[in-house]
Amino acid sequence: MSLDAATRARIETLLKDHRVVLFMKGTRQQPMCGFSAAATNTLNELLPDYHTVNVLEDPEIREGIKAYGDWPTIPQLYVGGELVGGADIIRQMYGSGELHQLFGAAPPDRTPPEITITDKAAEAIRQGTANAQGVALHLEIGPDHSAGFQLAPASEHDIVVTANGIEVHFDPASAQRAKGIVIDWVSTVQGEGLSLKFPGAQDIASITVQQLQQRLVEGSIMLIDVRPAHGRAAAAPLPQARVLEEEGYEALAALPKDTELAFICHHGISSQGVAERFAAHGFTRVHNVEGGMDAWAQFIDPSVPRY
């Protein structure tokens, strides 16, 4: 793959002007692919500031950076003008502590957390992983307490905890955030699945669309729409709603912890998870809207499109 002189000069200027540069799809605030999101999530743990280049907005850089470092995929991390690697290498170096050393940060705390896995959750995990070979159960917990399980190969740098006969692998940051969590299997009107409860988190109360309508008229509750852009395009947010994706998690999480909040999505599933994250951050009056916007369209306002 050839690299023209003008594009090479642009790349070299970027690397000269910024010690840490991540060439990625999207931005730090809004990654546009899973690998770019994984890279920024890791870097965010260690660096308050670094430079990103959105290759989706610059086709010349998108192709040119692949030729520049002879690295075929995006994202790519450069530090001090030198190529470090892509998302997998960034994650591996974070787990081993090499990334901390590279950035002059303190070594990661590798103390295994104490966690609880209920009998129901343990049985569900055993059934779900019965045919999984050569992989381990990983739990990643982000700074905003968003959490996700995945089956992936084990790493020698994983922090491993066994609870109720289930082995769970963590990266260093997730391990610290997992202290005291309870993993349960729950059944709600939204469906069944694994649930994480953090120490001190409040239970999430359900609110019907009829109750929500009355509370919005009274002005006694704040409604937060957690749907992605394509969902909001299909059916616009209610006029009273604040939009999580537009305002940002950190801004809304800075609200007084006694603010009464209601979270709404399409059917009431993803909003439950967001509500749990806010409760984990100390919010004490948190509600999830049963049935979401679909229920609002069905029972409150038929002019709202159902999609």
- C-alpha span between 219 and 226 (Å, rounded): 20
- For tokens 């905003």, name the residue: 144
CB 1 within 8 Å of CB 63: yes
> Exposed, middle or buried: residue 225 (CB in 10 Å: 0-12, 13-18, 19+)?
buried
CB 294 within 8 Å of CB 269: no
Helix residue spans in the chain (DSSP H): 5-17, 34-46, 59-68, 87-96, 98-102, 119-128, 172-177, 209-218, 229-234, 244-247, 249-253, 270-280, 292-299
- The CA distances from residue 254 to 112, 164, 281, in Å, are 30, 36, 10
Q: Can you give the pLDDT of all 307 residues of the chain as single tens digits?
A: 578 999 999 999 999 999 999 999 999 888 888 899 889 989 998 998 999 999 999 999 999 999 999 999 999 999 999 999 999 999 999 999 999 999 999 999 999 999 999 999 999 999 999 888 899 999 998 877 778 899 999 999 999 999 999 999 999 999 999 999 999 987 655 567 888 888 866 678 999 999 999 999 999 999 999 998 889 999 999 999 999 988 888 788 889 989 999 999 999 988 988 898 888 777 889 999 999 999 999 999 999 999 9
Q: Supply the pLDDT for residue 146.
A: 74
- C-alpha span between 41 and 30 (Å, rounded): 11
What does pTM read for this prediction?
0.66
Q: Supply the pLDDT for residue 281.
A: 75
Q: Please state, as a whole number, how many other Cβ atoms lie within 10 Å of the Cβ of residue 288.
A: 27
- C-alpha span between 25 and 87 (Å, rounded): 12
Identity of the amino acid at 187: S
